[in-house]
Amino acid sequence: MALKIIKPNFIIIFISALVLLISSNVKADRVVISNEGSDDITIIDLNTYEILNTIESGNRPRDMHYIPGTNSLLVAASEDDTINVIDMKTLKIIGNLETGDDPEIFDISPDGKVAVVSNEDDNEATVIDIKTGKIIRVIEDVGIEPEGVNFTPDGKYVFITSEGTNTIIIIDPWKGEIVEEVLVGNRPRRGAFNKNGEEYWVTNELGGTVSVIDTNTFLIKHTINFEKKGIRSSEITPVDFAMSNNGNLAYITLGRSKHVAVVNTNNYEVIDYILAGSRVWGAAITADDKTLIVTNGQSDDISIIDTDKRASIKSIAVGRTPHTVRIIE
Amino acid sequence: MRIILLKLVIIVLFLSSINSLYADEKESFNIGYYDLEKDIRYDEWGVHPVDIRSNTNQLYKRPIAGARLGLKDIKPFQRMAKVKFKLMSLRIKNIDTAANDILNHINSNNIKIILLDLPVTKLSNVVNKISNLNIAVINVSSKNNELRSSNCNQNLFHTIPSERMLSDSLAQYLSDKKWRKVLMLTGPLEIDKAKSESFIESAKQFGLKIIDNRNFLLGNDPRARDQNDLDFLTGSAKYDAVYISDTHKEFSYRVPFATHIPSAVIGSSGLTPRAWHWSYLRHGAPQVHGRFERMHQRRMTEEDWAAWIAMRAIAEALVRFKDNENFSFHDSFVSENFKLDGSKGPVLNFRKWNRQLRQPIMLSTDNWVTSIAPLESFVHRENNLDTIGIDSKTSKCSK
C-alpha cells in the first residue's frame, strides 16, 4: 500500500497492513504507469519487473490514484474529459467520473469518498463524488492553468498549484471557497505535504527550485536550490515528488536535467543527485522506501532506482510519454 | 477604551486583508497600447480568391488581440499585485501626429507602461518623444535589428525577437543539418533587404556558404524572366537550401517544391522562424493557444504572443518587485531574479545590453514546429539562448 498522497497515520497503516495481508497472497505487487502518448496503462510486476499487461485507457491518461478498499484505479483521461475507474482484478474500465474539461492532476480525500481535480483550460477545480461519479461543485478562478492538487492530511482543505499565476491557491472543497493564496516560484507544478501536513512542498519548474510553505502561517519557510556540476541551471526543472514513508527524505524529479534530487527533509539539504532518463517527471516509492520508480517522459521508459545505492538499477520501456507512476502493494 | 481601540484596529486590519484578497477596490494600473490605423503590415490581402472570402483566413491580425488575452491572464495576479489592471488603447489615425497623440494619451490617462505596435520608423520617433517621461516601452512587433544594436533607447524593451534572432535560428538549423550551401532570393522592399542582410550575418557566424543573392520581382513580364521565373531564379547553381526574404509572402509561397534542383526552402516560406506557432504542443503552449482561439476565433501569431508576454512581464514584475525600494520596470525587467514563463520551455528574461527578451525560436512549417532554436549543439558560456541574436559585444546599446 503506497498511496503517496496519504501521509502515514495509524489508521491508514492499519488498513494497509490488512489489505497487504489479504492481497499479498492473491496478487503480486504491481507498478502501474499511465502513457499519455499511447493512451494505455502499463502494469509491471514489482518483484520481477516484467510487464504483466498493457491495458487500454481513455485518451491521454495522466494522473492516477489507487483506492485500496475498492481495488480500483482512477485514471484521469484528459482528452475524454473524464476519470476512468479501472477494476484492478479484471483490468477493465468499470465506470467513469464526471470531471469537467481536461482533467490532469487530481487527489482523493483521506476518507476515499471525494476527488478534487484541476481543470487546466478553465482555471477551475472540480469536486467529485466518487461513489456516484457526479460533480458536487466547481470552484472557479483558481489561477491560470491549475495543476497540482493535494488534500491536506486532515481532509479539510485542498492546495492547488497554479502554473500561470505562480501561486498556491488553498481552497475549502466542502464550502467551495478560496481561503488563501501564496506566491511561490515560477510555474509551480506539483505539491506534497510533509511532517503530517505542517509543511507543503512545491516544485517550481521554471524557477528551478522547491518552495517549502509553513501551512500554519502560509509563509515560505525555505527555498531549496539545486546545483550540480555539469548541469546548467536552466535544465533543472523540478516536477514531481516521492516522499519517503519514514518522513526523512524527499525525492524530487528534475525534468530536463535527467536527475532525481535526494533531499533531507529535516534540514532541506540536497544530499545527492541520481541519474534517470530524459525529462524525468513522475515518481513513486515503495512502502519499504527501498525502491523509487520514476517515469521518463522523453525516452518512453521508467527507471527503477535502488534508494540505498542511490542509483538506477534498471530501465523498462513502456508506452509513449509515460506520465504518472503508482505502486500498488 | 484603549483595548476597544486596539480591537477595532485589529478588526479593520483583518477586514482590509480580506479586502486585498477579494475586493475589486484596488488602485487602477493603466497600461497603454498604441497602433496605427494604416499599417502596411496588417493590410488585407489574400493570394487566392477563396482565401480572401474564407472565414478561416482571419484578416484582423492586430496583436492587440494578444494583449487582450494577456490582460485576462494577468487578472488573477491582481490579488498578489494589489492593483487592478486596465488596458487603454488608442489607434492612431494621423501618422504625423502619432508621437504627440500618444504623449497626450499617456498624460491624460495616468498610464504607467506602454506597449507599441508600430513600424520601426514611427516607433523610434515615438520613443524619443516620450523619453522624458522615463516610462518603459515594450515593442511587440518591430523586428528591426538597429533598434537592438545602434539605434537604441534606454526605455525601450522588445518582446518580439529581432530579425537577427530569427536568421541565426535558421542558420543554426542549416549548420546542424550540414546544408551549408545557400542560394538567397531577396524581395524588392527595404524590409526584405534588411532581412537578407541579417541572414548574411548569421551565415557568416554559423559557417554557411552563400553561393548567390538574387533579387526577385512579383510579375509576369517576359522581359524580366530572370527575376520573376523560378527556374531562372533558382537555376544554374548548386545549393542545399534556398533562402527567401519576402515580407508580402505572395511570391515566396510558390517557391517550395518549385526550385530548379531539389532543395529545402527557408525564410519567408517553407521552414520559417517564428517567436510562436500554434502547432507547438509542449511546455503549456496548447493551453495558451486554446485560450487565445476561444477569445478571438483565430490562430495566435508571433506578434500576438509578443503582446501577450509583454502583459505577463508587467504582472510578473509587479508581483515580484513592487515592494522593493525605488521600484522601476526598467530595473525589474533586467534583474537576475526576473523570470518569465512564456510557455516555450526555458525561463525568459531581458538581455541587459539591449533589453531584448531572450527566447527560443520555433522553426516551423505552416502546420508543424520542426525544430526549436537554439539547437542543442550550440552552447553559450552563460545562457544558451544567447547563441541567437545580437550579443553584448556587437550591440552598441549600452555603450
Structure confidence by residue, pLDDT tens digits, A187-215: 999 999 998 899 999 999 999 999 999 99
Within an 8 Å CB–CB cutoff, is residue A72 touching chain B? no
What does the alpha-carbon distance between residue B249 and residue A229 come to, in Å, rounded to a whole number? 47
Q: What local confidence, expressed as pLDDT, does residue B46 receive?
A: 58
- Residue B201 reports pLDDT greater than 80: yes
Same domain, B29 and B75: yes
Lowest mean pLDDT of A5-19, A105-119, B168-182, B282-296, name the range: A5-19
What does the alpha-carbon distance between residue B354 and residue B195 come to, in Å, rounded to a whole number? 19
Same domain, B256 and B327: no
Report DSSP letters for A132-185, one per residue: TTEEEEEEE---SSEEEEEE-TTSS-EEEEETTTTEEEEEETTTTEEEEEEE-S
From residue A215, alpha-carbon distances to A163, A184, A207, A246, A247 in Å are 20, 13, 21, 20, 17
What does the alpha-carbon distance between residue B309 and residue B138 come to, in Å, rounded to a whole number? 10
**Structure-block grid coordinates of residue A103:** 482533467
Q: Which of B378, B388, B343 is nearest to B175 (CA)?
A: B378
Same domain, B111 and B171: no
Q: Residues 6 or more apart from A302 whose CB is under 8 A from it?
A: A31, A33, A44, A277, A293, A294, A295, A296, A315, A316, A318, A322, A325
Q: Is the Cβ pair B291, A121 closer than 8 Å?
A: yes
What does the alpha-carbon distance between residue B7 and residue B11 come to, in Å, rounded to a whole number? 6
Mean pLDDT of B201-220: 95
Q: Is the Cβ pair B339, A186 closer than 8 Å?
A: yes
Residues of chain A found within 8 Å of residue B319, distances taken between Cβ atoms: 166, 183
Same domain, B179 and B226: yes
Within an 8 Å CB–CB cutoff, is residue B48 touching chain A? no
B392-399 — which CB contacts under 8 Å span 24+ positions? B392/B351, B392/B352, B392/B353, B394/B149, B395/B148, B395/B149, B395/B152, B395/B353, B395/B354, B396/B149, B396/B150, B396/B152, B397/B148, B397/B149, B397/B150, B397/B152, B397/B353, B397/B354, B397/B355, B398/B352, B398/B353, B398/B354
Mean pLDDT of B191-206: 96
- Residue B8 reports pLDDT greater than 60: no
Q: Which of A214, A212, A229, A282 is nearest to A252 (CA)?
A: A282
What does the alpha-carbon distance between residue B71 and residue B31 come to, in Å, rounded to a whole number? 10
Q: What is the mean pLDDT of chain A?
A: 91
What does the alpha-carbon distance between residue B331 and residue B155 come to, in Å, rounded to a whole number? 11
Q: What local confidence, expressed as pLDDT, does residue B341 receive?
A: 92
Which of A123, A180, A187 shows the shortest C-beta gap to B341? A187
- Residue B40 reports pLDDT greater than 80: no
Within an 8 Å CB–CB cutoff, is residue A162 touching chain B? yes
Q: Residues 6 or more apart from B57 whose CB is under 8 A from it?
A: B46, B51
Ramachandran category for residue B172: left, alpha or beta (phi over 0 → left; psi -120 to 50 → alpha):
alpha
The order of strands in the sheet holding A51-56 is: A51-56, A40-45, A30-35, A322-328
Paired sense of beta strands B83-92 and B27-36, if any: parallel
Q: Contact, B165 vs B388, CB < 8 A?
A: yes
Farthest CA pair distance, chain A: 52
Q: What local confidence, expressed as pLDDT, does residue A23 receive?
A: 46
Residues of chain A found within 8 Å of residue B316, distances taken between Cβ atoms: 166
In a domain, B391, yes or no: no
Q: Is the Cβ pair B290, A121 closer than 8 Å?
A: yes
- Residue B93 reports pLDDT greater than 80: yes
Angle between helix B163-177 and B190-205 (nearest 10): 50
pTM comes to 0.84
Chain A nearest C-alpha distance from B286 (Å): 9
Helix (H) or strand (E) holding B106: helix B98-109
Tell me the sheet residues that pair with A155: none
Same domain, B224 and B153: no
Chain B nearest C-alpha distance from A233 (Å): 9
- Residue B248 reports pLDDT greater than 70: yes
**Structure-block grid coordinates of residue A89:** 482484478
Q: Where are the domains of chain A?
A: 1-50+234-329
Q: Which of residues 157-196 of B touch A (CB under 8 A)?
A: none
Q: Which of A70, A68, A66, A69 is nearest to A83 (CA)?
A: A66
Chain A nearest C-alpha distance from B157 (Å): 22
Q: Is the Cβ pair B384, A234 closer than 8 Å?
A: yes
Within an 8 Å CB–CB cutoff, is residue B335 touching chain A? no
Q: Which of residues 163-182 of A touch B (CB under 8 A)?
A: 163-167, 178, 180-181
What does the alpha-carbon distance between residue A273 and residue A261 come to, in Å, rounded to a whole number? 5
Size of interface A-B (CB pairs under 8 A): 54
**Structure-block grid coordinates of residue A110:** 483521506
Q: Contact, B372 vs B385, CB < 8 A?
A: no
Q: What local confidence, expressed as pLDDT, does residue B183 receive?
A: 98
Lowest mean pLDDT of A24-38, A218-232, B290-304, name the range: A24-38
Residues of chain A found within 8 Å of residue B21, distances taken between Cβ atoms: 178, 180-181
Q: Is the Cβ pair B76, A143 closer than 8 Å?
A: yes
Q: What local confidence, expressed as pLDDT, does residue A24 receive?
A: 44
| Residue A233: band (very low, low, confident or very high) from pLDDT cuts 50, 70, 90 | confident
Q: Which of residues 118-137 of A touch B (CB under 8 A)?
A: 120-121, 123
Q: What local confidence, expressed as pLDDT, does residue B53 receive?
A: 60
Within an 8 Å CB–CB cutoff, is residue B76 touching chain A? yes
CA-based nearest residue in chain B for residue A162: B76
Q: What local confidence, expressed as pLDDT, does residue A2 receive?
A: 45
CATH entry 2.130.10.10 includes domain A1-50+234-329:
yes
| Residue A159: band (very low, low, confident or very high) from pLDDT cuts 50, 70, 90 | very high
Same domain, B28 and B140: yes
Q: What local confidence, expressed as pLDDT, does residue B49 receive?
A: 62
What does the alpha-carbon distance between residue B154 and residue B133 come to, in Å, rounded to a whole number? 12
Lowest mean pLDDT of A22-26, A105-109, B132-136, B351-355, name the range: A22-26
Number of domains, chain B: 2
**From start to end of B118-155, where are the E strands?**
137-139
Chain A nearest C-alpha distance from B325 (Å): 19
| Residue B19: band (very low, low, confident or very high) from pLDDT cuts 50, 70, 90 | very low
- Coil vs helix vs strand at B277: coil
Sign of CA dihedral B375, B378, B383, B386: negative
Same domain, B149 and B291: yes
Q: What local confidence, expressed as pLDDT, does residue B39 receive?
A: 84
**Structure-block grid coordinates of residue B228:** 520573376
Q: What local confidence, expressed as pLDDT, does residue A15 receive?
A: 57
Same domain, B189 and B334: no
Q: Is the Cβ pair B346, A120 closer than 8 Å?
A: no
What does the alpha-carbon distance between residue B65 and residue B303 come to, in Å, rounded to a whole number? 9
| Residue A86: band (very low, low, confident or very high) from pLDDT cuts 50, 70, 90 | very high
Same domain, B189 and B258: yes
CA-based nearest residue in chain A for residue B291: A121
Q: Which of B14, B19, B77 to mutate to test the interface with A (most CBs of A within 10 A)?
A: B77
Q: What is the CA radius of gyration of chain A?
A: 18
Q: Is the Cβ pair A144, B73 closer than 8 Å?
A: yes
Residues of chain A found within 8 Å of residue B77, distances taken between Cβ atoms: 165
Q: Tell me which amino acid residue B358 is.
A: R
Q: What is the CA radius of gyration of chain B?
A: 23
From residue A68, alpha-carbon distances to A2, A96, A329 in Å are 10, 18, 9
Same domain, B121 and B92: yes
- Residue A26 reports pLDDT greater than 50: no
Which of B79, B290, B341 shows the shortest C-beta gap to A181? B79
Give the residue with greater pLDDT, B20 vs B118: B118
Which of A121, A144, A232 shows the shortest C-beta gap to B76? A144
Q: What local confidence, expressed as pLDDT, does residue B51 receive?
A: 62
In a domain, B382, yes or no: no
Chain A nearest C-alpha distance from B59 (Å): 26
Tell me the sheet residues that pair with A160: A149, A169
Chain A nearest C-alpha distance from B338 (Å): 10
Q: What local confidence, expressed as pLDDT, does residue B57 receive?
A: 56
Same domain, B223 and B351: no
CATH number of the domain enclosing B269: 3.40.50.2300
Give the residue with greater pLDDT, B397 vs B327: B327
- Residue B219 reports pLDDT greater than 90: no
Within an 8 Å CB–CB cutoff, is residue B73 touching chain A? yes
Residues of chain B found within 8 Å of residue A81, distances taken between Cβ atoms: none
Residues of chain B found within 8 Å of residue A144, distances taken between Cβ atoms: 73, 76
Q: What is the pLDDT of residues B272-329, one digit of tens each?
A: 999 999 999 989 999 999 999 999 988 999 999 999 999 999 999 999 998 888 899 9
Lowest mean pLDDT of A249-258, B7-16, B319-328, name the range: B7-16
What does the alpha-carbon distance between residue A171 and residue A150 come to, in Å, rounded to a whole number? 10
Q: What percent of chain A has pLDDT over 70?
A: 91
Q: What local confidence, expressed as pLDDT, does residue A69 receive?
A: 83
From B226, B253, B274, the end of a domain falls on B274
Which of B77, B287, B341 shows the shortest C-beta gap to A186? B341
From B274, B294, B321, the end of a domain falls on B274
Report DSSP letters for B300-334, one per residue: --HHHHHHHHHHHHHHHHHHHHTTSTT--HHHHHH
Same domain, B286 and B152: yes
**Structural domain of residue B354, as residue ranges?**
24-161+280-359
Q: Contact, B299 vs B287, CB < 8 A?
A: no
DSSP conformational letter for B187: -
